[in-house]
Amino acid sequence: MATSKRYDRIAFVASASAEAQAALAQLTKLYGKHAAADADVVVALGGDGLMLQTLHTHMRSGKPIYGMHRGTVGFLMNEFTTHDLHTRLAAAKESLINPLLMRATDVHGAVHLHHAINEVALFRQTNQAAHLRILIDEHERMAELIADGILVATPAGSTAYNLSAQGPILPINAALLALTPISAFRPRRWRGALLPNSAFVVIEVLEGEKRPVAAAADHDDVRDVRRVEVLSDKTISMRMLFDPGHSLEERILREQFGS
């Protein structure tokens, strides 16, 4: 939906690149600089890595995040310009995304809780393939997957690592998650599954002492996991702002048609 509120107080964040820092200097000179706690909106200057970091930092704040591309990859970013930023923000369209919550139990029984905006992924830690058991909503769906790993991706993350692993692209407003194997050996022809975003996904590591596995929620890693639980956290809704005609929905559609 289109936003009608003016965002007068802007907090800027930027990556460490020279390009992003130069943009930061230009924009703060033109529009001032507010602390994030006092701002109406956070404007991130960089690439998708900075956007993910900014979303994590402000995950529970309810503040809208508007990105401008001053980095390497900019799928989640708007085009950069210093012109009439207040008008662009007022006209921007809002996309709401829910993060994944990962609950990983390691070999020592310690429990690690992390949120992911793109995906939760499990990887083999050595040269031996991981052996994994998959349960969906407490029902076993696959007794043994032999692969380099597996991931659970959100619609927002479906064009990231999930796409590189041959997973499906999901429309941003689809109530779905992608469950995608990473270099599956057996069953060799299994390409993954589409799950409702209400699904409770459990991945158990088989033969973990011999075939250790790590888990990652975006950039938060846990080594030597034995059990990983994943669900969409509906208690958190993050607000991303996009210029009209360049919404996340439109970008995902373009990606599917190669445009």
Inside any domain, residue 4: no
Q: What is the CATH number of the domain that holds 48?
A: 3.40.50.10330
Domain that holds residue 121: 100-232
Is 156 annotated as contributing to ligand binding? yes
Using the predicted structure, report yes or no on whether residue 145 has a pLDDT greater than 90.
yes
Inside any domain, residue 243: yes
Q: At 59, is the pLDDT very low, low, confident or very high (cuts 50, 70, 90)?
A: very high
Q: What's the predicted TM-score (pTM) here?
A: 0.86
Using the predicted structure, report yes or no on whether residue 233 has a pLDDT greater than 90.
yes
Q: At 6, is the pLDDT very low, low, confident or very high (cuts 50, 70, 90)?
A: confident
Q: Are 176 and 197 in contact (CB under 8 A)?
A: yes
Is 8 annotated as contributing to ligand binding? no
Inside any domain, residue 199: yes
Print burial letters for 153-184: b (CB count within 10 Å at least 16), e (below 16).
Answer: bbbbbbbbbbbebebbbbebebebbbbbbbeb
- Which positions are annotated as active-site residues? 48
**Number of structural domains the chain divides into:** 2
Q: What is the CATH number of the domain that holds 105?
A: 2.60.200.30
Is 160 annotated as contributing to ligand binding? yes
Q: Are 148 and 172 in contact (CB under 8 A)?
A: no
Closest CA to 53 of 77, 28, 81: 77
Phi, then psi, of 29 in degrees rounded to 5 = -65, -40
- Predicted pLDDT at 254: 73
Residue 43's identity, in one-letter code, is V
Inside any domain, residue 2: no
Inside any domain, residue 5: no
